[in-house]
Amino acid sequence: MRIAISCVPSAGGSGVLATELGRLLARRGHEIHFVTSAMPHRLRADPEPGVFFHEVRALHYPVFEYTPYDLALAVKLAEVWRHHKLDLFHVHYAIPHAAAAILAREMLAPCRSPVVTTLHGTDITLVGQDASYRPVVRYCLNHSDAVTAVSDWLKDVTESVFDPEVPVRRVHNFADPEIFRPASRDPRFLPGDLGRRVFLHISNFRPVKRVEDVVRTFAAAVRTGIDGVLALAGDGPDLGVALETAQDLGVRDRIRLLGVVDDVSRVISQADVFLFPSDGESFGLAPLEALLCEVPVVGARAGGLPEVVEDGVCGFLHPVGDVDSMAESCRRILTEPGLREAMGRAGRERATRLFSPESIVPQYEAIYQEQIDRRRGC
């Protein structure tokens, strides 16, 4: 199949999932065309045969107060379709990507290429519930040929808020167990902190991630006697808030800023515990990657995270904001004999069994083929 993929080309979960899906589809013989505003984050360092990149350039004109990226994306998708005779559009997020793909298909009429829309969370839980955008999100759902959501939780939220005419199918995120593997401590990783426990958080540092709770949990764990450091990977609007909180709690000297990391597998495998107190994560791709690296996850029992982390088996989940309980769970993991190792093994087994590419990618292929066959019969 010849497939166009449009996504946010960032290090966030939706961009990572879309990129890894495209790479794996290419390895399975499909021709993949990424149509985005920049080279997707995980394609930059390791180009993949069979994967092509088409840059969307949204020019700014003085007559427009805001650059009309969605229109530029629609034009580029139509252009790529004309040159490569695409079989399918797979777009990640209803706005702007599904809207642009639906418009591109109308521009190309009688184009019969289906539009498959994958929902990742904020397009439903944030943008979609804004009265200014709700009608267009509903339009995008109802004019897609297939809609998928990355968790049962997000599927349920989508159906309750929008009651879409097109069925919403749950297709979980995935991560590659060959890339994300356990590893012994590399002396080059935080060389000044050898012998200390490493707490890790990776995100885009948006408010939903509750990075203040990350710092508060870490500080409370330190107060129990754990000699550790908190490594923060990524960047975003609340990183400064996290550092201010660390300063107020007296643990700023224990914070290690890693920045945006290209190869997160090497970082995750060096951690002792992964902190993820998000209050509305649709799935939790970074926690899944941690499980594959045999790193227990401590987080909030919210959103789709309970579908990834089995509480008490491969980590601990607590009510949103309960940093004292999260800190106590960290203490248990790091001090009770054998607990961290047992949870690590259980986490990798669960992640490999339920969320491997071998089980997830064929689900997308089946949806693609079903929709292509249906459109051909129109």
Residues 286 and 349 in one domain: yes
For residues 217-232, average pLDDT: 97
- Give the pLDDT score at 262: 80
Mean pLDDT over residues 80-93, rounded? 95
Rg (CA), the chain: 21
Do residue 343 and residue 366 come from a single domain? Answer: no
Q: Where are the alpha helices (DSSP H) in 298-338?
A: 305-308, 323-335
If you average pLDDT over residues 273-294, what whole number do you get?
95
Cβ-proximal residues to 197 (8 Å cutoff; 6+ apart), any chain: 226, 227, 228, 229, 272, 273, 334
Q: Grade residue 323 by pLDDT with cuts at 50, 70 and 90.
A: very high
21 lies in the same domain as 164? yes
Asked if residue 348 has pLDDT above 60, the reply is: yes
Residue 184 lies in a domain: no
Same domain for 219 and 334: yes
Residue 125: give its domain's CATH number.
3.40.50.2000
Please check whether residues 207 and 67 belong to one and the same domain.
Answer: no
What CA dihedral angle connects 322, 324, 330 and 333, to 10 degrees?
A: -100
Q: Does residue 129 belong to any structural domain of this protein? A: yes
Residue 377 has pLDDT above 90, yes or no: no
Residue 111 has pLDDT above 90, yes or no: no
Least confident range from 52-56, 127-131, 355-359: namely 127-131
Within a domain: 365: yes
Instruction: Output the pLDDT for position 76.
Output: 97
Q: Are residues 364 and 346 both part of a single domain?
A: no
| Tens-digit pLDDT profile for residues 16-29 | 899 999 999 999 99
Determine the average pLDDT of the residues in 197-217.
95
Condensed to tens digits (0 to 9), the pLDDT of residues 233-255 reads 999 999 999 999 999 999 999 99
Span 349-372, mean pLDDT? Answer: 97
For residues 260-274, give the mean pLDDT. 93
Q: What is the pLDDT of residue 300?
A: 98
Residue 108 CA to residue 164 CA, distance in Å, equals 25
CB burial of residue 336 (10 Å; 0-12, 13-18, 19+): exposed
By CB atoms closer than 10 A (0-12, 13-18, 19+), residue 46 is: exposed
Confidence of residue 378 (pLDDT cuts 50, 70, 90): low
pLDDT reading at 128 higher than 70: no
Please check whether residues 223 and 195 belong to one and the same domain.
yes
Contacts of 360 (CB under 8 A, 6+ apart): 171, 172, 173, 174
pLDDT of residue 124: 81
Banded pLDDT at 178 (limits 50, 70, 90): very high
HSE-up (13 A, CA, CB side) for residue 367:
25
State residue 123's pLDDT score. 78
Residue 217 DSSP label: H
3-state SS, residue 172: coil
Is the model's pLDDT at 131 over the cut of 70? yes
37-60 pLDDT, tens digit each: 998 877 766 678 999 999 999 888
Q: How many domains does the chain have?
A: 2
Domain of residue 11: give its range.
Answer: 2-173+357-376
**Rounded mean pLDDT, 336-365:** 97
